[in-house]
Structure 1
Amino acid sequence: MTKRYAQYEGRRNIHRGRRHKSAGKMYIAGIITVILLSSITIFGFAFKTGMEGSHQDVDVQASDLQELNIGTPWYLTLVNKQNHIPKDYNPKLVKVQGGEQVDERIYGPLMEMLEAAKEANWNQLPRVVSGYRTADIQQSFYDEKTAKYIKEGYSESEAKEIAGQWVALPGYSEHQLGFAVDINGATYDVYSWLQENSYKYGFIFRYPGNKTQITGVAEEVWHYRYVGVEAATKMYEQGLCLEEYLSFL
């Protein structure tokens, strides 16, 4: 009996060991399954989030100026061919010498800059020949420029494309912000002076020729835009246009 019992207990222990091993394998397999399912879930969420982020980026590019410039100081508001002005945008304006109007917030630094530029302009105050524009005025400028190129022999589509390099469509011009001015000097030296000194007063040479691929606008030596002294200084020192500067913020 003792011998048989011992044999029985031996076989029983072997079966127990096998069951323990089998249960251990099942337990490990269960853990692996849970890990795999968790990884798939996390990957799926990350992929979905990434896709949603991509769609959000596209939406931002298509958004209007108010949405695009959330948290941006007013003087760094970006208006170009991709970013338009809301229809209800209504700046507070003040007249400058010559009758043109600008946003009242840039009047002080603008006049200081023009006064300082007199020495390079035969001691005459450079004139602001274009400041704030309404949508209707902007449209008339664009139409006139388009008609000019049609008269020169270009097709209508070609004329509009060329005109767009010089005159923005209504809603896409900085002039409608009231922060930009076109300056007329008695001598070309005044433009050289402005390019080297305007940053001291918070203005930038907005459309240099070497940035046309970025701004989408051909060189305009007369066009200056207020962005504040700090931003203007950094752009001047680093050779950046407004689009480049804002992309680094």
Structure 2
Amino acid sequence: MTFSAVLALTDAVSTTQPWHGFTEAEILPAESEQRRDSRQMADLRPVEPLETSPTVAKSEVSADDWQLLLVNPWNQLPEGYTVELTELRNGHAVDTRAYPDLQRMMDDCRAAGLEPVICSSYRTLETQQRLYENKIRRLMNEGLSREEATAQAGTVVAVPGTSEHQTGLALDIVDASYQVLDTAQESTAVQQWLMANSWEYGFILRYPSEKSDLTGIIYEPWHYRYVGQDAAREMRELGMCLEEYLEWLDGIDK
């Protein structure tokens, strides 16, 4: 599988060097409780509850749009998939088509006085394979059988070929003050801002806590996926994850 890259040095991410490719909480240092609490007291717009609109009857969005590519435990990346990438200045990269909206989102988040850091973005198949095997080994070291470890690993680190990070449309974004990938991330100032505003830039929180049975992935309050502004707005209004939304689009198109 080959991928072309377009070099475009940008301000989309913090100059802080990321932990390349890591997805496990234990490898990222936790900040002090005092510092974490101070970040949570930032002046933010409160997260508004979703206003579902079950009466929505049609959409201008097509389920075949490139930004709605479904990759999950049951849908592998299409064979021969390629993507043109824009490289960010700290070594990360994203689908070039999603880059302008990502830049605006990061700029506006910083303008609100916050410090978002992209700690993971596009991954090659080889990188995903390494992360997956590492997770299996760690679980086996904890006493699980190979079969048990493999099954559990797939809910935390996507099986190679089924990771959204391989599309170039997904990013892990954390708060500079708390760079641990665990559920406490949801309480940071950056995540509160992103959860309230990311849809305006075409991004969604891809793995909500109440949708794990549908996504096949545990709750990840740091993993954002680009779907485009129209789709992100409709998914927010409908209270749907990507799997539900694509099924809904298929239904109204018939």
TM (normalized to structure 1)?
Answer: 0.68
Select the residue among 82, 100, 104 that pairs with 2:96: 104
Structure with the higher fraction of residues in helix conformation: 1
| Residues 71 and 153 of structure 1, relative CA distance in 2, 3 Å threshold | closer
**What is the rounded CA distance, in whole Å, between the counterparts of 2:248 and 2:144 in structure 1?**
39
Is 1:95 matched up with 2:95? no
Is 1:118 matched up with 2:110? yes
For 1:221, what is the secondary structure of its paired residue?
coil
Partner of 2:40: none
Deviation at 1:119, TM superposition (A): 4.9
Deviation at 1:123, TM superposition (A): 3.7
| Residues 80 and 92 of structure 1, relative CA distance in 2, 3 Å threshold | same
The structure, 1 or 2, with the larger RCO (C-alpha pairs under 8 Å, 6+ apart) is: 2
User: Who wins on radius of gyration, i.e. which is larger?
Assistant: 1
Gaps of 5+ in 1: 1-69
Deviation at 1:71, TM superposition (A): 6.5
**What is the rounded CA distance, in whole Å, between the counterparts of 2:196 and 2:217 in structure 1?**
21
Instruction: Check whether the contact 1:146–1:163 (CA below 8 A) recurs between aligned residues.
Output: yes
**What is the rounded CA distance, in whole Å, between the counterparts of 2:92 and 2:141 in structure 1?**
30
Instruction: Check whether the contact 2:114–2:190 (CA below 8 A) recurs between aligned residues.
Output: no
Gaps of 5+ in 2: 1-61, 178-187, 250-254
Deviates more, 1:82-91 or 1:133-142: 82-91
Structure 1's consecutive aligned runs of 4 or more residues displaced over 6 angstroms after TM superposition are none
**What is the rounded CA distance, in whole Å, between the counterparts of 1:244 and 1:232 in structure 2?**
13
Instruction: Check whether the contact 1:98–1:129 (CA below 8 A) recurs between aligned residues.
Output: no
Q: How many residues align?
A: 178
Deviation at 1:86, TM superposition (A): 2.5
Select the residue among 48, 59, 64 that pairs with 1:72: 64
Output the aligned Cα RMSD: 1.5
Partner of 1:168: 158
Deviates more, 1:236-245 or 1:110-119: 110-119
Using the aligned pairs only, state the percent identity.
46
Deviation at 1:99, TM superposition (A): 1.1
